[in-house]
Amino acid sequence: MRIVHLFLRISLAFAMCAVINVAARADALHVVASIQPVHSLVAGVMDGVGEPTLLIQGGASPHTYALKPSEAAALQQADVVFWIGEALETFLAKPLRSLSRRAAIVTLADADGVDLVEAGSGDHAAHDHADGGHDHADGGHDMHIWLDPTNAEAMVRRIVDALSLADPAAAPQFRANGAALQRRLAGLDAALFKALTPLQGRPYIVLHDAYRYLERRYGLTQAGAITVSPERRPSARKLTEIRAALADTRASCVFAEPQFEPALAHTVIEGSDARIGVLDPLGSALPPGPDAYFGLMHNLAAALADCLAPHR
């Protein structure tokens, strides 16, 4: 009889554990991140607690994206949504307004410590933006804020605060993960300085004006952007100006992006000695997760070094 009672108590204990585990899964925080760099930082903060959902996967561009039904459903279930802001992920603005009553919407461009760069500012040649204003800019600011690791540090602090508020029980883990991420970001910054400092003073052309944060942080020399909006073909006048900038500055490289056809880059370098490289500001070929942000930043540095380094 004692054995039967012992067996019943053990069975009851296992059953209670199963109920607790199911309840924990049911109460798990549902977190959504808009783009790969944001998702990576959020995933790093949530490591060991949960996994955020990434909306834009693969090579899709946030500038022209349309939500799929499954992604819209993920948004409807979200407790917290992280994005850069309406000027970058324009497609999310309307869906997020409908979620604002039940979900925390965290705009990382507004995070304390994020140092914004003005769109269209600076001394870059051929940056008169003759085709109109800058897309994905908010109040005249460039929104590719993650391309400066010091901004990523500020984003991590905001992510930790938002997740800790949404799930106080997991706050100690979020804070510990955030501190580890800050140390890792400081190491990344040092590595990028080492890799990119030798490239200072070597001009290049980009497909669209997305790299101001990287250029400001590491002293790089952009000589012009082919288009202010990667979804629109630049005017004949703009192409003429960019080809002139290529010749005047003796830029050695024109960078395309994997999300867009490279035909424009080939048009610009025609008749010159310039080479074509590829910059991916989203890390679209990388597997999502805590390492993706670091991978995309290292890949940008490697692509710049490979194309701008002197070739025999």
Q: What is the mean pLDDT of the chain?
A: 84
Q: How far apart are the first and last CA of the chain?
A: 87
* Residue 135 scores a pLDDT above 80: no
Cα distances from 204 to residues 54, 63, 138, 309, in angstroms, run 32, 24, 25, 11
| Residue 144 CB partners (closer than 8 Å, separation 6+) | 88, 136, 210, 211, 212, 213, 281
Q: List residues bridging with 206 in a β-sheet.
A: 225, 255
| Residue 186 CB partners (closer than 8 Å, separation 6+) | 149, 153
Q: Which residue has the higher pLDDT, 241 or 39?
A: 39
- 3 state DSSP class of 75: helix
Segment 111-127 shows an average pLDDT of: 69
Segment 143-151 shows an average pLDDT of: 97
Q: List residues bridging with 225 in a β-sheet.
A: 206
What pLDDT, on the 0 to 100 scale, is given for residue 137?
53
Q: Which of 198, 188, 196, 194 is nearest to 216 (CA)?
A: 196
Helical ranges in the chain per DSSP H: 2-26, 36-46, 69-76, 93-99, 149-166, 171-196, 212-218, 236-249, 263-269, 292-308
* Residue 99 scores a pLDDT above 50: yes
| Residue 205 CB partners (closer than 8 Å, separation 6+) | 222, 223, 224, 225, 226, 242, 245, 246, 251, 253, 254, 255, 268, 274
The pLDDT confidence band at residue 140, using thresholds 50, 70 and 90, is confident
Please write the tens of the pLDDT for every residue from 265-280: 888 888 888 899 999 9
* Residue 117 scores a pLDDT above 90: yes
DSSP 263-290: HHHHHHHTTSS-EEEE--TT-TTSPSST
Q: Which residue has the higher pLDDT, 220 or 231?
A: 220
Please write the tens of the pLDDT for every residue from 58-78: 767 787 788 888 888 889 999
Query: Which tokens hold the place of 303?
Result: 């692509």
Q: Is the dihedral of CA 75, 76, 82, 83 positive or negative?
A: positive
Q: Which of 248, 144, 155, 159 is nearest to 205 (CA)?
A: 248
C-alpha to C-alpha distance for 292 and 283, rounded to whole angstroms: 7
- 126 torsion bin: left (phi>0), alpha (psi -120 to 50), beta (else): left
pTM score, whole prediction: 0.85
What pLDDT, on the 0 to 100 scale, is given for residue 311?
65
* Residue 198 scores a pLDDT above 90: yes
